Structure 1
Amino acid sequence: MPASPDENATPAGGEEGGAVRRSGLRNPEAAVRGLGSGTLALEAIVLLLAIQPIKILGGHLSGWGIGLVISLAVVAAVLAGSMRRSWAWNAGTALQVVLLAGGFAHWSLAALGVIFGLAWAYATYVRKSILG
C-alpha cells in the first residue's frame, strides 16, 4: 500500500534527513507575493481615501502634504505590481519608513505608518517562515 502524503511530511520541528520543510501550498512563492501585493494595494487605497479626512480634521495639510500622500499611494501601487522583483520587499520596507516619517507633515500619516508598518512586518514574517 502506498504511503500517504502525511507519512512523508517533515515534522514541524525542522528538517529530517535533508528533506525540505513543506508549507502545504502548491506555489508558496506566489502565495507570499500575493500577501505582499495585497498589503501594498490596501495601503494605496487607504492612503488615497485618507486625504479628505486629513484635510477636514487637520486643516493644515498643504498642497505638498497632499502630494506626499498621493506619491506614497502611487509608490505603494507600483510596488504591489512589482512583487516578482527581488528588490520589491526591501522597497516596501522603505515605503513603510517613509510613511512613518510622513508624521512630520500630519500625525495621521504616522498613525497609518504604524498600522501598515505592523502589517508589513507580519507579511515579511510570513514570507520568511514560508520561504525560509
Structure 2
Amino acid sequence: MLTLQAVVTLLAIPVAISVAHADAATAGIAGGVLAFAGLVIAGLLRYRWAYVAGSVLQILVIGTGFVVPVMFFLGVIFGALWGASIWVGRRVESAQPR
C-alpha cells in the first residue's frame, strides 16, 4: 500500500505545480519527502512503530488535499486500504493453523 501511495504522491507533484500553481520547489520537496517516507516506512514494517508512522503518513497525504483537492479523495482511499491491510494482516496472524 505504501509503495503504491508513494507513486501516487509523486504523480501529484506535477498536478500541484500546473493545476494548483504551487511553487515547484515546495511541491517537489513536500511530495518527494512524503513519497520517500512511504517507501522507507514500507521497508520498516517489521517494527511495530512503523505501523503508527504509516498511519501518520496517511493523515499527511490526506492533508495534501489542501493543495491538490483530488488528494483528499485519494488519501481517504489509501487510508482505507491501509486500515484494511492492517486488519487483514492481524486476522491472518491470529488464525490458528489447521
What TM-score do the two structures reach when normalised by structure 1?
0.62
1:61 maps to what in 2?
A: 22
Taking the aligned partners of 2:86 and 2:48, their CA distance within structure 1 comes to 13
1:87 maps to what in 2?
A: 49
Taking the aligned partners of 1:52 and 1:103, their CA distance within structure 2 comes to 14
Deviation at 1:114, TM superposition (A): 1.1
Within 5 Å, which residues of 2 pair with 1:1-132? 39-58=1-20, 60-62=21-23, 63-132=25-94
The count of aligned residue pairs is 93
User: Following TM superposition, where does structure 1 have runs of at least 4 consecutive aligned residues deviating by more than 4 angstroms?
Assistant: none
- 5+ long unaligned stretches in structure 1: 1-38
Deviation at 1:112, TM superposition (A): 2.3
Largest Rg, 1 or 2: 1
Deviation at 1:117, TM superposition (A): 0.7
> Is the contact between residue 96 and residue 116 of structure 1 (CA under 8 Å) also seen in structure 2?
yes
Higher helix residue share: 2
User: 2:39 corresponds to which letter in structure 1?
Assistant: A
Deviation at 1:55, TM superposition (A): 2.4
What TM-score do the two structures reach when normalised by structure 2?
0.81
- 5+ long unaligned stretches in structure 2: none
Deviation at 1:80, TM superposition (A): 1.0
Taking the aligned partners of 2:67 and 2:12, their CA distance within structure 1 comes to 14
Q: Secondary structure of the equivalent of 1:83?
A: coil
Root-mean-square deviation over aligned CA pairs? 1.6
